[in-house]
Amino acid sequence: MEIQKVGVVGCGLMGSGIAQVSAQAGFPTVVREVTAELLEKGLGSIRKFLQGGVEKGKMSAGDMEKTVANLKGTTRLEDLADCDLVVEAVSESLALKREVLGTLDRAGKREAIFASNTSSLSITEMSTFTQRADRFLGLHFFNPVPLMKLVEVVRTLSTSDSTYKAASEWCRAIGKTVVTTGDTPGFVVNRLLVPYMLDAIRVYEQGLASRDDIDSAMKLGCGYPMGPLFLTDYVGLDTTFSIAEIMFNEFKEPRFAPPTLLKRMVLAGRHGRKTGRGFYDWSTNPPS
């Protein structure tokens, strides 16, 4: 099965990035958002990133035009019916994913491959919302999608070899490196990364070191591009909390349990960069 046309459901942080890299690699790509306003916001962020690339000399104006021409926005799921690959990147709610995947399954081509960009929900469970468990897998991208080189390709017990091969080839065609993983919460990266971020919050909560010293310690001591508290703001405290809860429920290990401070900050609406406040104040540039 050759992937020629791509659909992306959701044009938020991850969906817009996935649609962008797909269109940038030359694939006609249709991206769907629920309202015209949200769609315009997502497409606007893609244009802004591409424009930044042109200004930095990373991309020619002609390539930007080609990318934009490959991208089509819609609010109708049915407009993804003729896609060979559909990547779902809607909010992390199983009920919502069930609705979206069920509709797409009925509308879409029989041979089309469906993928979820979920970071921690079960790919196997999602595949049961469709009649195509053999053509279903996880394609987990990283934030910011256009800059992060990795995609975790998640195989369930039912994913066919041809589905795995075609989806992996598409990931390589859009310039990503693939790692293959089984279907357990967090896959490889979040299984290792999330306990680290939670531990950093516990260290901060216990007063062992200041926010800036924790972040400097890991940046300068380990060569990480961002400190763990900055990274948590970047990923989103709400997202981190929900991944931690899913992993804790599955593994029942204390290292996955969300710290009290994280829960309180989420309840207070301090979700990090996206809400303007987390461990850092994002209304200033750079965040303070």
Residue 24, beta-bridge partner list: none
What number of other Cβ atoms are within 10 A of residue 245's Cβ? 16
> Which lies closer to ligand 3HC via its Cβ, residue 25 or residue 193?
193
Q: Which residue's CB is nearer to ligand 3HC, number 207 or number 286?
A: 286
Residues annotated as part of the active site: 119, 140, 152, 190
Q: How far is the CB of 74 from ligand 3HC (least distance, A)?
A: 25
Nearest approach in angstroms of CB 194 to ligand 3HC is 8
Q: Which one, 84 or 92, has the nearer CB to ligand 3HC?
A: 92
Q: Which residue is nearest to ligand 3HC (CB)?
A: 53
Distance CA 172, CA 149 (A): 10
At which residue do the structure tokens 């468990």 appear?
Answer: 133
Task: Pick the closer one to ligand 3HC by CB: 226 or 261.
Answer: 226
Smaller CB separation from ligand 3HC, 77 or 214: 214
Q: How far is the CB of 231 from ligand 3HC (least distance, A)?
A: 6
- Of residues 111 and 199, the one with the C-beta less far from ligand 3HC: 199
Least Å distance, CB 222 to ligand 3HC, is: 12
Task: Note the residues at the interface with ligand 3HC (CB under 6 A).
Answer: 49, 52-53, 56, 58, 119, 142-144, 147-148, 190, 193, 225-226, 231, 235, 239
* Shortest Å distance, C-beta 17 to ligand 3HC: 10
Q: SS in 3 state form for the chain?
A: CCCCCEEEECCCHHHHHHHHHHHHCCCCEEEECCCHHHHHHHHHHHHHHHHHHHHCCCCCHHHHHHHHHHEEEECCHHHHCCCCEEEECCCCCHHHHHHHHHHHHHHCCCCCEEEECCCCCCHHHHHCCCCCHHHEEEEEECCCCCCCCEEEEEECCCCCHHHHHHHHHHHHHCCCEEEEEECCCCCCHHHHHHHHHHHHHHHHHCCCCCHHHHHHHHHHHHCCCCCHHHHHHHHCHHHHHHHHHHHHHHHCCHHHCCCHHHHHHHHCCCCEHHHCECCCECCCCCCC
Assess contact for 266 and 241: CB atoms under 8 A.
yes
Taking the complex as a whole, how short is the minimal distance between the CB of residue 140 and ligand 3HC, in angstroms? 6
